[in-house]
């Protein structure tokens, strides 16, 4: 790949061939730190995602080095609940890139940003998968440091089930080099994701270990179960204070049926990490106990189907692939949601996503492409699920409708004929 001209947009690289083996087919995500393209593997032709460091950072030796180092570290993370990294290299012009698994699925943020609730059993299954992935990473000394709904994707497997997969291990360290993750940037702006940062990370971004990820996992579960943020605040700066000084409303106060997980969540979000779960395995065992199961499964924990997203329902036979985008660290100022329009989804009024029923939907996760999104749950609208999965609601077959119509016409004709004879 030849060097892009100064100021050229990464979108202009579509059609180029990276390192003479990765054709850049289309942009599937972009952010301040770079762009993600769809490509194909030269080995087996499978679809892959190629994450390219943004032009603004390519001359920063520290950012470039850390981007490559963290990518190579992630190559060691081979686990069903972690997005796979296949290749890490530099293009002919020295541009660093990472080749990773391309996912067909929905980001967890499509649910947590909806303001409604994920069913208890499904939320526990999703968290179990997250903890399994975290446990594998922590065993190798790798801490995520930026676990949030945008970095978890419910990915459809070949069998039709869905597995929680964690994105962007290591990207937080790249963000540090680029200006800070929970630290001061060159312009003095505090960066990070306050809603999911542990108290110790807020106080000192360098003093973070595996237990910080477990805090974030607890926050994710709280939001899935309650449909509300754990630490409500009018601004992101105020949220930092809320994380340090307030306690989320107990689950049983939100819904008495959630009481079985109340103690589990409270322990997961203890301010003092010494009083928190000390490992992902310990937390997973506690979750299994709270849910009334005897043991923790060793393998991946799949969902038979996705939770409801009734505000927009799109069959996933042509689902948009999901890939993480290396976005720049978000400032603590709240960002307005930006719509992402996959190729097969039409635009509605104002450029928002349009559902088949014509309802406009704003994507709450600007740096993740999604196949379907919206709010949960509704008994009056179809369940979003893989074709053929148990529990999927199906419409009346077309053939049945045709036969009913023909039958009605024949009956009407015969009735008219009989009436004529009587006259």
Pair 154, 133: CB distance under 8 Å: no
Distance CA 146, CA 169 (A): 8
What pLDDT was estimated at residue 277?
A: 97
Tokens of 323: 């890939």
Q: What's the pLDDT score for residue 174? A: 66
Q: Give the pLDDT score at 250.
A: 95
Distance between CA atoms of 373 and 179, rounded to whole angstroms?
32
Q: Locate 79 and state its tokens.
A: 């686990």
* Most confident option among 2-11, 15-24, 112-121: 15-24
pLDDT given for residue 251 in this prediction: 96
Structural domain contains residue 42: yes
Q: Report the percent of the chain where pLDDT is more than 90.
A: 41
Beta bridge partners of 165: 153
Query: Residue 363 pLDDT more than 80?
Result: no
Beta strand 47-53 with 34-40 is antiparallel
Count structural domains, the chain.
1
Say if residue 193's pLDDT is above 50.
yes
Q: Name the residue among 56, 50, 68 with its Cα closest to residue 14.
A: 50
Asked whether residue 209 is assigned to any structural domain, the reply reads: yes
Q: Is 146 a catalytic residue?
A: yes
Choosing from 87, 146, 213, 363, which is the catalytic residue? 146
- Find the radius of gyration of the CA atoms of the chain: 24
Neighbours of 286 (CB within 10 A): 18
In a domain, 161, yes or no: yes
Residue 143 lies in a domain: yes
DSSP labels, 110-154:
HHHTTTS---HHHHHHHHHHHHHHHHHHHHTT---S---GGGEEE
Residue 175: pLDDT band (50, 70, 90) is low
pLDDT greater than 80 at residue 387: no
What is the C-alpha end-to-end distance of the chain, expressed in Å? 86
Which DSSP letter does residue 295 get?
A: S
Q: Is residue 155 part of a domain?
A: yes
Q: Is the pLDDT of residue 176 over 80?
A: no
Domain around 49: 10-290
Contacts with 219 (C-beta within 8 Å, 6 or more apart), sequence order? 195, 196, 230, 269
189 pLDDT higher than 50: no
pLDDT tens figures, 18-73: 999 999 999 988 765 778 999 999 989 899 999 998 888 888 888 888 888 888 98
Determine the length of the chain. Answer: 423
What confidence tier does 296 reach under pLDDT thresholds 50, 70, 90? Answer: low
Q: At which residue do the structure tokens 């999703």 appear?
A: 126
User: Order of strands across the sheet with 152-156?
Assistant: 162-166, 152-156, 103-107, 321-322
pLDDT digits (tens, 9 = 90+) for 309-325: 543 333 333 333 445 44
Cβ atoms within 10 A of the Cβ of 107, count? 29
The CATH number covering residue 136 comes to: 1.10.510.10
**Residue 354: inside a domain, yes or no?**
no
**Res. 163 pLDDT band, cuts 50 70 90:** very high
392 within some domain: no
CA distance 118 to 178: 35
How confident is the model over 203-222, as a mean pLDDT?
94
What b/e string do you get for 3-21 counting C-beta neighbours within 10 Å, with b at 16 or more? ebeeeeebeebeeeebbee
415: Cβ contacts below 8 Å, ≥ 6 apart: none
144: tokens are 């995520």
Query: Residue 255 has what pLDDT?
Result: 94
Higher per-residue pLDDT: 62 or 344: 62
Q: With 70 as the cut, is the pLDDT of residue 330 above it? A: no
Q: In the numeric block, which tokens belong to residue 171?
A: 């990207």
399 token code pair? 């053939």
In a domain, residue 402? The reply is no
Q: Provide the token pair at 232.
A: 């409500």
């Amino acid at each position: 790949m030849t060097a892009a001209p100064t100021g050229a947009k990464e979108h202009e690289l579509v059609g180029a061939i990276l390192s003479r083996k990765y054709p850049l087919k289309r942009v599937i995500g972009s952010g301040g730190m770079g762009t993600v393209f769809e490509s194909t593997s030269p080995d087996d032709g499978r679809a892959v995602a190629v994450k390219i460091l943004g032009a603004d950072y390519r001359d920063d030796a520290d950012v470039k080095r850390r981007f490559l180092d963290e990518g190579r570290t992630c190559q060691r993370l081979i686990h069903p609940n972690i997005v796979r990294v296949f290749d890490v290299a530099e293009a002919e012009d020295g541009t660093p890139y990472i080749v990773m698994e391309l996912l067909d699925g929905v980001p967890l943020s499509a649910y947590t940003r909806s303001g409604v609730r994920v069913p208890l059993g499904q939320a526990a299954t999703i968290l179990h998968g997250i903890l399994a992935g975290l446990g594998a990473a922590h065993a190798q000394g790798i801490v995520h440091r930026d676990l949030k709904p945008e970095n978890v994707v419910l990915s459809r497997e070949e069998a039709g089930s869905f597995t929680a997969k964690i994105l962007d291990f290591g990207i937080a360290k790249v963000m540090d080099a680029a200006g800070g993750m929970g630290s001061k940037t060159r312009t003095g702006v505090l960066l990070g994701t306050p809603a999911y940062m542990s108290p110790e990370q807020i106080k000192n971004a360098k003093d973070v270990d595996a237990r910080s990820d477990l805090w974030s996992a607890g926050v994710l579960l709280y939001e899935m179960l309650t449909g509300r943020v754990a630490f409500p605040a009018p601004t992101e700066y105020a949220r930092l204070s809320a994380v340090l000084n307030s306690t989320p409303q107990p689950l049983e106060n939100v819904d008495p049926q959630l009481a079985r997980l109340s103690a589990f969540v409270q322990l997961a979000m203890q301010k003092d990490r010494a009083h928190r779960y000390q490992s992902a395995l310990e937390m997973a065992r506690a979750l299994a106990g709270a849910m009334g199961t005897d043991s923790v499964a060793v393998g991946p924990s799949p969902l038979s189907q996705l939770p409801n997203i009734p505000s927009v329902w799109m069959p996933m036979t042509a689902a948009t692939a999901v890939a993480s985008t290396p976005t720049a660290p978000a400032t603590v100022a709240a960002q307005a949601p930006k719509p992402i329009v996959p190729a097969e989804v039409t635009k509605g009024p104002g450029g928002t996503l349009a559902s088949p029923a014509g309802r406009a939907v704003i994507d709450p996760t600007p740096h993740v492409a999604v196949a379907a999104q919206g709010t949960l749950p509704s008994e009056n609208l179809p369940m979003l699920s893989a074709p053929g999965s148990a529990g999927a609601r199906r419409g009346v077959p077309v053939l049945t409708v045709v036969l009913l119509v023909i039958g009605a016409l024949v009956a009407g004709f015969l009735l008219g004929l009989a009436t004529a004879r009587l006259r």
